[in-house]
Amino acid sequence: MTGILRRVGLMFGLPIVLLAAWWFASANSVDFFFPPLSKILESLVDEWFGPRLAADVVPSVLRLLAGYLLAVVLAVSLGVLIGTSRTVRGVLEPVLEFFRAIPPPVLVPIFMLFLGIGDGMKIVVIAFGCMWPILLNTVEGVRAVDSVLSDTARTYGITDSARLRKLVLPAASPQIFAGLRQGLSVAIILMVISELFAASNGLGFAVVQAQRSFAIAETWAGMLMLGLLGFLLAVLFRIVENRQLAWYHGLRRAQRSS
């Protein structure tokens, strides 16, 4: 019982202290840039969980998901193809490393040139930017599949598609998930950046609008909203990952304790 109390206390203690500190420190703030927390929360509930939720947050999230899923499908299938052949890997690796090294936001002005400023451009930018970490991690994961296992599977006459589903993808999945997590954080960055340049709706667009019109409390609230969104996506990702990689985490624990 005390154990549970202790854990709950540890989990919520610091956040509560920090929020309380912010609340009281800003309570009577007249500083233009640091409005009272009560005002910020008011704006968060009234604006961001009110009319802006459907008008700005939902379109942003949909574009994010569309771009991310596109990147996942493309990058994992390309990654498996590239990873299985030594020659293809050798030819493409430096090229891929170069594309990964380009800071993804610089692609926004370039893609704007020929895709305009609509949803299509934003989805393509998100997909293109978060593709590289997923692709390179998949290539690396597929490359590192235990050669004894894959030789055995081949000797037993297991077909290519069965080998892919039962051996290659599971074996590469810890590495693929590492890439997926990096890709997700790039996708969130690009979701915001793509809306800063040219947009008529979206979370990033609305936050910058608020900032330009010096609606300070609303700006802070928008930042909190972006933070909440990032946190929520990270939690969802963690749940999916823990389900998919339960076998792997178990294996690592067993290896560590032995």
Site for other proteins in 146-185 (CB under 8 A): 174-175, 177-179, 181-182, 185
Distances (CA, A) of 127 to 23, 30, 106, 159, 202: 39, 43, 14, 32, 17
Q: Which of residues 232-251 bind other proteins (CB under 8 A)?
A: 233-234, 238, 242, 249
User: Residue 154's CB: how many other CB atoms inside 10 A?
Assistant: 13
* Identity of the residue, 59 or 222, whose beta carbon is nearer to other proteins in the bound complex: 222
CB of 249 to other proteins, least distance (A): 6
Q: Which of residues 12-31 bind other proteins (CB under 8 A)?
A: 12-15, 18
- Rule CB under 8 A: choose which of 61, 66, 74, 92 binds other proteins: 92
- Rule CB under 8 A: choose which of 4, 5, 10, 30 binds other proteins: 10
CA Rg value for the chain = 23
Under rule CB under 8 A, residue 49 binds other proteins:
no
Under rule CB under 8 A, residue 74 binds other proteins:
no
User: What is the sign of the dihedral through the CA atoms of 238, 239, 240 and 241?
Assistant: positive
Cα 73 from Cα 135, distance rounded (Å)? 10
Under rule CB under 8 A, residue 188 binds other proteins:
yes
- Alpha helices by DSSP H, listed for the chain, are 2-26, 37-43, 51-52, 58-84, 86-101, 107-115, 119-143, 147-155, 160-163, 169-197, 203-212, 216-244, 246-257
* Identity of the residue, 156 or 256, whose beta carbon is nearer to other proteins in the bound complex: 256
- Rule CB under 8 A: choose which of 54, 102, 149, 162 binds other proteins: 102
User: What is the sign of the dihedral through the CA atoms of 207, 213, 219 and 225?
Assistant: negative
For the window 194-223, what string marks contact with other proteins as x by the rule CB under 8 A?
--x-------x--xx-xx----x--xx-xx
Q: Which of residues 117-146 bind other proteins (CB under 8 A)?
A: 133, 136-137, 140
Under rule CB under 8 A, residue 193 binds other proteins:
yes
